[in-house]
A = this chain, B = another copy of it.
Amino acid sequence: MKRKIQQLQPLSGFMELLPAEQILFNQMLDIVRRNYELFGFIPLSTPLIEKEEVLMAKGGIETDKQIYRIQKGKVDLALRFDLTVPLARYVAQHYADLQFPFRRYQIDKVFRGERAQKGRYREFYQCDIDIIGNETLSLANDAEIPGVIYATFRNLGLGAFTIRINNRKILNGFFQSQGLKKQVMEILRIIDKFEKIGKEQVKSNLLSFGLSIDQTEKILSFITIEGENDQIISQLCEFGVTNTLFIEGVDELKQVCQMVGLFGVPRECFKIDLAIARGLDYYTGTVYETTLNDCPEIGSICSGGRYDNLAEAFTDRKLPGVGISIGFTRLFSQLKDVGVIKAGNSTPARVMIIPMDNQVARAVEISAKFRANEISTFVYLEQKTVGKIFKIADRLKIPFALIIGNTEVEQGLVSLKDMASGVQDVFSAEEAIDKILSLEIRRETDDEKRRS
């Protein structure tokens, strides 16, 4: 019984890439990983499957609806929906074996059975870093996180971006001072959409929620305070709010802003934005969002913040932390759609060696020399005409081809074809390696010049 090909359509919400895109995806993920490691974050990999009771320890209706449950054996299992709950479980479980602050990164898939829609994935990568303290965690860590974000996104080369920062204590303190303590979470959720839906819609949402025109105006004038970071801080200090939480928040924000520059973040990439709230009640201090200046429609590409207690569902120990997450699969898909990134080669091979006249032995022998120089090399071993093989090399976007036939073997040389220029020349194997390496360096430099 043969299946029809139309039954093989991909599941909606599950990304599957063709080679060129997959290679680009991996290269970008490697850049994230390298930057996370450069800041001394430890790689962590937890099982994809957890006990359902662990994943649901904090509950939540959304989580209950979205979780993928597994039918197998006596214990109720499910697929993780984020990397934070597994981190909390891991730190509580392995507490005695860890050094604090525990700086970990995890780049891994998570699963959410959301209603499928454009740009939403059910299986997707998150790239998380978190710094977990034991009882306490210095505020300097809140300033280091933007440093990691900056290094990572600069290295990814996606154009100019802005790291926006706020402090939940300022928002909470402000709302408390306005007699809106009980409504804080709901108000935060409304103003968190400011960037997306605009001032007028936020205004109308706050009014429908039941706030007075006065309260609404005050909130709006507060979250739209503008200026340089130190100007905003001054205005906050002069806003006349005496609530202690508010004052603590302003002081924290001030300190973090003063330190961020030390971690290499240029002034123009870092901005206080009092409208940033982050929907989750999880965050208790600093909060971050990051946007690409030229692609505001993508929304935040990297978000996170400070939390008082990572693992309260699993341990009585107080474990404060600060962290961020990049929703990588969605980001990749959006960047592709807006044309910020473009897939290149369809193979890691930089050279295709083509044996002619049955000179397979010599071709294979030479391939070893290339690999010894860390050059990924693909020996074409099938019987085809050289024209057809060139076509395959072209489609794979392999930059160089090496032809080895009777003439080359007799002369002890190889023919090197630069696929970009079409130029073909005869070299010794060693010369061909040098030629390829120098051409690659030159092209890389040209690419960099063009980008800058």
Contact = CB atoms under 8 A, between A and B. Distances in A.
Interface of A: 2-3, 5, 7-11, 14-19, 22-23, 25-26, 37-51, 53-54, 57, 68-73, 75, 77, 79, 89-90, 92-94, 97-99, 101, 103-104, 109, 111, 113, 122-123, 133, 136-138, 140-141, 144, 151, 259, 262-264, 312-316, 346-349, 352, 360-361, 364-365, 368, 371, 374-379, 381-383, 392, 395-396
A51 B11 contact: yes
A259 to B, nearest CB: 8
Contact of A39 (B25, B123, B313, B376): B376
Contacts of A364: 140, 144, 259, 262-263
Nearest to A258: B361
A48 B381 contact: no
Given A140-B381, A263-B364, A347 B22 contact: no
A348 B129 CA distance: 14
A364 to B, nearest CB: 4
A71 to B, nearest CB: 5
Given A381-B138, A382-B101, A374 B38 contact: yes
Nearest to A378: B40
Contacts of A92: 5, 8
B68 A348 contact: no
Contact of A348 (B37, B46, B51, B71): B37
Contacts of A42: 19, 22-23, 346-348
A354 to B, nearest CB: 13
B39 A262 contact: no
Contacts of A22: 42-45
B46 A2 contact: no
A70 B68 contact: yes
Given A19-B43, A19-B44, 13 more contacts: A2-B315, A8-B89, A11-B51, A23-B43, A26-B43, A26-B45, A38-B375, A68-B70, A69-B70, A99-B396, A151-B371, A259-B360, A262-B361
A75 B116 CA distance: 14
Contacts of A41: 348
A382 B315 contact: no
Given A38-B374, A262-B364, A262-B365, A5 B43 contact: no
A332 to B, nearest CB: 12
A395 to B, nearest CB: 5
- Which 6 residue pairs are nearest across A and B when measured between Cβ atoms? A40-B378, A40-B349, A14-B47, A140-B381, A37-B348, A262-B364
A397 to B, nearest CB: 10
A72 B73 CA distance: 18
A47 B316 CA distance: 37
25 contacts: A8-B92, A8-B93, A11-B50, A14-B47, A14-B49, A16-B46, A16-B47, A17-B45, A19-B42, A19-B104, A23-B42, A37-B348, A38-B371, A38-B374, A38-B377, A68-B72, A69-B71, A101-B382, A136-B382, A140-B360, A144-B381, A259-B364, A262-B365, A263-B364, A263-B368
